[in-house]
Amino acid sequence: METKVITIDHKNIDETVLQEAGRIIKEGGLVAFPTETVYGLGGDALNKESSRKIYEAKGRPSDNPLIVHISNMEDLNSIVEEVPEDVYRLAEAFWPGPLTIIMKKSTLVPKETTGGLDTVAVRMPSHPVALKFIEYAGGYVAAPSANVSGRPSPTRAKYVIEDMSGRIDMILDGDGIDIGLESTIVDMTGEIPMILRPGYITLDMLQKVLGEVSTDKTILDINCKDAPKAPGMRYRHYAPKGQLTIVEGDVAKTIDKINELTMQAHIKGKKVGIIGTEETRKQYVGDSVKSVGKRSDEESIARTLYAILREFDDEGVTVIYSESFSECSMGQAIMNRLLKAAGHQIIYV
């Protein structure tokens, strides 16, 4: 299949392009599009054949449910059994934006889209291209991150092209992917709202709106053997090709340890990549030392992390060492993704 790649200026949107993209979705095709978190791989959420195609294009297990993206509140009613009062409050506070809300699904949503579950994950993204595209696509766009299953989510169009060329109908290259990590997921079907995936919208922010909120214990305790409640969090995700190890502890000791490990790896003939920060990168000695952002600015780290993991792949790095980061506010989402990328390999200093 030939994949059409179209650049779109999110500050000056060419609506004819989005009309065409919308038509592709309505006809059962697939279109990758930018959102404020990561690129999405979109298909018609109400068409089970489209969902089947999404799983196939990603190489994703079909028991891993998709997020349904909407563009306005009126459209929410028909895909859920009912909209709980608290969901209106969440939407008021965080939609459009990087929050995905799990509710009981209505019969309109096929089980193929929800991985066989009776619940549906819904998000209204804030990216202007995404919102307009969803409208033209008929209102309901199922979209996982636009990467091949197991690879880091794409935050740049070139990585979508790398993973999806030849597999889907169109890629919208749109810029403005400002957050860089996938949305926060909150489950509103239980007695107490529960975070299933940490992201830009933090526990604190949710508690201010909802009162009591819990967090899936598999996120807080990396040794917990229970199955995570979001099926997608079970898989080894976000994996770079090189073997990633996180070094955690005092920053000065971390730098010493990473330099020591790098020397040992060099002796074995490995190509080493290092994930440092603006504050520390000059103190490392690896083949490929990269700054992921400022230690003092978590948002800068979130924005760059996935792109760096992909750059290491491109450079043929075989071993990667990373600093660890504070788990304050967005830091929890950063460490959650980094630990997954590392297959939980961590050295304490």
Q: Binder to Mg ion among 145, 184, 218, 288 (CB under 5 A)?
A: 145
Least distance in angstroms from the C-beta of 31 to ligand TXA: 12
Other beta carbons less than 10 A from residue 48's beta carbon: 14
CB of 173 to Mg ion, least distance (A): 19
Among 57, 70, 109, 230, binds ligand TXA (CB under 6 A): 230
Q: Is the dihedral of CA 256, 331, 40, 51 positive or negative?
A: positive
Q: Tell me: does residue 127 bind ligand TXA (CB under 6 A).
A: no
CA 64 to centroid of chain Cα atoms: 14
- Reading the block at residue 260, the tokens are 């020591």
Residues 236-295 that bind ligand TXA (CB under 6 A): none
Cα-only R_g, the chain: 20
Of 233 and 342, the one with the shorter C-beta distance to ligand TXA is 233
Q: Which stretch binds ligand TXA (CB under 6 A): 121-129, 216-224, 288-296, 310-318?
A: 121-129
x/- map, 18-57, ligand TXA, by CB under 6 A? -----------------x-xx-x-----------------
Strands (E), the chain: 4-7, 31-33, 40-44, 67-69, 99-104, 119-123, 141-142, 170-173, 184-187, 194-197, 214-215, 243-248, 272-276, 288-291, 319-323, 346-348
Alpha helices in 40-199 (DSSP H): 48-58, 85-94, 128-136, 157-164
**Which part of the chain contacts Mg ion (CB under 5 A), choosing from 60-68, 142-150, 172-180, 190-198?**
142-150
Which residues inside 153-212 make contact with ligand TXA, applying CB under 6 A?
A: 182-183, 185, 196
d(CA 266, CA 269): 5
Q: Which of 210, 8, 173 is nearest to 99 (CA)?
A: 210
Q: Does 232 bind ligand TXA (CB under 6 A)?
A: yes
196, interface contact from Mg ion, ligand TXA, none, CB < 5-8 Å by kind: ligand TXA
Q: Give residues in contact with ligand TXA (CB under 6 A).
A: 35, 37-38, 40, 64-67, 100, 102, 114, 117, 119-121, 123, 125, 143-145, 182-183, 185, 196, 230-233
